[in-house]
Every structure is written in structure tokens, then in C-alpha cells.
Amino acid sequence: MRLLAFLLIGTLIFGFAFAAAIFLVGLAGLAILALLIAGLLRGGRGARSTLQGAMTFLETEGMRREAPLS
């Protein structure tokens, strides 16, 4: 009932653009959700670490110290 009142008041104040904006946001959300589910069904991992395979700060500092000066 609160949702219905929210939609009714928003439509009375802003017109049909209010309902259209809510529709488009919901549609975009469903599209993103569908893309996430499709990616998971294809066998992709849900959350990937951006640092996977990257060297840590200590490893790079050790490489700098061991590098010969030219």
C-alpha cells in the first residue's frame, strides 16, 4: 500500500515521467542482473580479484634492491 501511495504521489507531482523513470531504472537493473547470471552460467567466476597474479609491495621492493646499478 505504501508503494502504491508513493507511485501515486510521485505521478501526481512529476507526471508520467516519474513512472517512466522508475520503469527504466528497473529495466536496467534487470538487464544487469541477467548479464551477471549469464556470466555465472557460462562458468565465469562471480568476483575476481584485481590483484591476482600481481606482485606485492615487498616483492617489488626486493627486486629493486637486487637489481644491478647501471
Task: Kindly list the domain boundaries of the chain, sorted by start residue.
Answer: 2-66
CA distance 22 to 67: 58
In this prediction the pTM is 0.51
User: pLDDT digit string (tens) for 52-66?
Assistant: 556 666 666 666 665
10 Rama class: left (phi>0) / alpha (psi -120 to 50) / beta:
alpha
pLDDT at 34: 94
